[in-house]
Structure 1
């Protein structure tokens, strides 16, 4: 008796075949973080161990240890809690909490207030770092605040003024890349500085606009700042969210990476202070 070929709607044993419906991931409009992936996994540049980057309510990012720890083992100053993808530095009486990776990083000095249980966890991370070094899978890098900046004519990390605040960019102005996700689920390759949009202006501005006598003396009085204050509010928000003009108009596109802005502090970021304008923006003499 010839075998009857099975229908496409059923398996070989006669059970119905129900194809899985493909659902598109969407970002809710009220989400505090527009990241499609809440935690951005990365590796610590100092020890090579895995970390999870989470945004904070102040729009900054903090590296957290990927695993949760019992709250009783973590001192109150080191307790972090994640809610809706945002890390909060508070104690909500939960039995579990998170801890910042710098407190456990083997490349940093061990804080004196950590209990012995966290010291054992730090030793396990140090052992993993040693294995990575011995196998050649990891090479420690210097932190960004200790690297020597590039020539003053093209700042490696320029100071940008927008929305009445100053930020330190992670790369030169021309290399700031859009963080939105494309239809191919990759990061957008277009720069934020579009040739069809109004650029900013390089100007010499005081390093500390509200300097008082009680503050420490700064190494430079005037620094080169890429000023975007003359642009409309929507254009400044496009720079703050680090998006190209096309993805700035498409509000439904999620972010595939965090915006690479650091709140500028002239004392902490003194190594990146530039006292003269770039070559392209200097007036002719």
Structure 2
């Protein structure tokens, strides 16, 4: 009987407790995340989420294999509700503009963004666009989101001529449209405190570009543009390493630290003369202003 009574008893306590029954506190080994140097995207998953600057709704950034990152709707939709030309799928963190054969797909946010009037929303996605418009109104009423002001750039506006809000930057022999003025373009790398770096790209000790007037030529197959010249912030004459740093949108400190991850998407957009014609300026920005017929001075361009 005694043998049967003690046969089911454990001779050693569970691993989560000591011999006397007191709980054993396991020491967790903290390991920091590292970015794979051979990966296509250096953007952390926490940095891929954001909000549309036009409507305030949630979006997710994903890199493409050939072009810049694309903004996708954060939720998957049934493929039957999405037209074939609007279907996307994500594979290994990279977005592809096609379906993967499954019954679910992703959708670009630009197709259903309520702040955009063109192109027209497909009828299958009209209900989703209306729900996003209602959510935008709720965010505005709650004071969480403020719509961007309407563009008032015109040749008669001194602020638009002397300091472009979205300048055209030329680097690596390509032209990009920046989302911020040249002096306010911010580094997108992650700091040791796990927040975004606040340093600008244009630092006093680094080589800077120059403003220049270049011919306002259209792309191949497009009609000629009305203005003959346009102001461009030219970086083609700076060293090649500096151009790569600007393209990656990193300050000099984080450009020398390739292991630092990105917390945001680079704000560069391929410049299209026809789609971005309102951002074309025919005069150079200047350091100081003086009253005149065009509202700008005739001094040397700001470096």
TM-score range, shorter chain: 0.7 to 0.9
CA distance in 1, matches of 2:231, 2:203: 21
Find the residue that maps to 1:279 and give its secondary structure.
coil
Unaligned runs of 5+ in 2: 1-16, 288-298
CA distance in 1, matches of 2:73, 2:216: 35
1:224 corresponds to 2:231: yes
Q: Which residue of the partner structure matches residue 273 of structure 1?
A: 280
**C-alpha spacing 1:21/1:59, structure 2 compared with 1 (3 Å):** farther
- 8 Å Cα contact 1:202/1:277 also seen in 2: yes
Q: Which segment is superposed worse, 106-115 or 266-275? A: 106-115
- 8 Å Cα contact 1:38/1:54 also seen in 2: no
Q: Which residue of the partner structure matches residue 282 of structure 1?
A: 300
Task: Give CA deviations for 1:38-87 in whole Å, capped at 9, x if unaligned.
Answer: 66222234443222122323342322111111223221101011123222
**C-alpha spacing 1:256/1:44, structure 2 compared with 1 (3 Å):** closer
Find the residue that maps to 2:160 and give its secondary structure.
coil
Unaligned runs of 5+ in 1: 1-8
Q: Which segment is superposed worse, 234-243 or 32-41? A: 32-41
Alignment counterpart, residue 148 of structure 1, candidates 145, 148, 153? 153
Q: Which residue of the partner structure matches residue 3 of structure 1?
A: none
Q: How many equivalent residue pairs?
A: 269
1:191 corresponds to 2:200: yes
Q: What is the aligned-residue RMSD (CA, Å)?
A: 2.7
Alignment counterpart, residue 180 of structure 2, candidates 166, 171, 177? 171
Off by >6 Å, runs of 4+ in structure 1: none
CA distance in 2, matches of 1:23, 1:191: 30
Q: Which residue of the partner structure matches residue 4 of structure 1?
A: none
Task: Give CA deviations for 1:102-149 in whole Å, capped at 9, x if unaligned.
Answer: 32334445846443xx44433433443344445454443357xx4537
CA distance in 2, matches of 1:205, 1:65: 38
CA distance in 1, matches of 2:166, 2:144: 28
For 1:122-137, list aligned pairs within 5 A.
Answer: 122-137=129-144
Q: Which residue of the partner structure matches residue 35 of structure 1?
A: 43
Find the residue that maps to 1:151 and give its secondary structure.
helix
CA distance in 2, matches of 1:256, 1:126: 28
- 8 Å Cα contact 1:219/1:270 also seen in 2: no
CA distance in 2, matches of 1:23, 1:35: 19
Q: Which residue of the partner structure matches residue 85 of structure 2?
A: 77
Alignment counterpart, residue 247 of structure 1, candidates 248, 254, 259? 254
